[in-house]
Structure 1
Amino acid sequence: MLKRLLAFGCAMPLLAAGPALAQSALQSLQQNRQKVEWVDNFDIATENITEVKSSAPTLSPQTADYIAAAINRYQRIVQAGGWGTVSTGGKALRIGMKDPRVVELRRRLIASGDLEQQAGLSNTFDSYVDAALRRFQLRHGLIHDGVMGEGTVTALNIPANVRLRQLETNMIRMRSMSGFLGDRYVMVNIPAAEIEAVENGMVRSRHTAVVGKIDRQTPILNSKIYELNFNPYWTVPVSIIRKDLIPKMKEDSEYLAKNNIRIFDWSGNELNRQQIDWNTDEATQYRFTQDPGSDNSLGSVRINFHNKHQVYLHDTPSKTLFGEANRFHSSGCVRVQNVRELVTWMLQSTTPDWTRSRVDSVIRTGEREDVKLKGSIPLYLTYVTAWANADGVVHFRDDIYNRDDLYGTGAQARL
Structure 2
Amino acid sequence: VVLVPIVGEYGPTGVLTVGLMAGVMLVALAALRAGKYMQYVPAPVVEGFTLGIACVIGLQQVPNALGVPRPEGDRVLVVTWRAVEEFAKDPNWTAVGFAVAVAAVMLVGARWRPALPFSILAVVAATVVAQVAGLDAAQPIGDLPSGLPAPTLGFLDIGALGTLLAPAVAVAALAALESLLSASVADGMTVGQKHDPDRELFGQGLANIAAPLFGGVPATGAIARTAVNVRTGAGSRLAALTHAAILAVIVFAAAPMVSKIPLAALAGVLLATAVRMVEVGSLRAMAKATRSDALILVLTAVATLALDLVYAVIIGLIVAGALALRAVAKQARFDQVPLDRGDHSAEEHALLAEHIVAYRIDGPLFFAAAHRFLLELTEVADVRVVILRMSRVSTMDATGALVLKDAVEKLRR
TM-score range, shorter chain: under 0.3
**With structure 2 as the length reference, what TM-score do the two structures score?**
0.23
Higher relative contact order (CA 8 A, sep 6+): 2
